[in-house]
């Protein structure tokens, strides 16, 4: 499991935003992963996607790494943000915008506003 942990740690630290998910950002393979990738894609955020279905060691390893039992998992600037429910809540409250702003990440603020308007 050390190799998976090292790989996960290097990926999280080497990229500004990482989404560990089932499938890819272009072809999610579960509803929760699809929801988070859909939000990030719609907001135009650049991020690295890691398909946990491609490697069982990574799939289990990311759960151990974050001490979080579910996938997807979003990391921003090396910090664990949360899974689908947390990312959804943060998107709707504007907290996700704040997190991106505080970390100097480029995204489409108008798209973020449209998500909130559609869910008001």
Which residues does the annotation place in the binding site for [2Fe-2S] cluster? 30
Q: Give the residue ranges of the annotated binding site.
A: 30
Which helix or strand (DSSP H or E) is residue 79 part of? Answer: strand 79-82
Nearest CA among 40, 38, 30, 47 for reference residue 96: 40
SS3 105: coil
């Amino acid at each position: 499991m050390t190799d998976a942990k090292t790989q996960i740690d290097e990926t999280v630290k080497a990229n500004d935003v990482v989404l560990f998910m089932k499938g890819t950002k272009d072809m999610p393979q579960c509803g929760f992963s699809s929801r988070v990738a859909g939000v990030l894609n719609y907001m135009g955020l650049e991020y690295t996607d890691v398909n946990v279905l491609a490697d069982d060691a990574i799939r289990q390893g990311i759960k151990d790494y974050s001490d979080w039992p579910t996938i997807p998992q979003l990391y921003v600037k090396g910090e664990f943000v949360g899974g689908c429910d947390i990312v959804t809540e943060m998107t709707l409250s504007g907290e996700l915008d704040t997190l991106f702003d505080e970390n100097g990440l480029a995204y489409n603020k108008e798209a973020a506003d449209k998500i909130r308007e559609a869910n008001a």
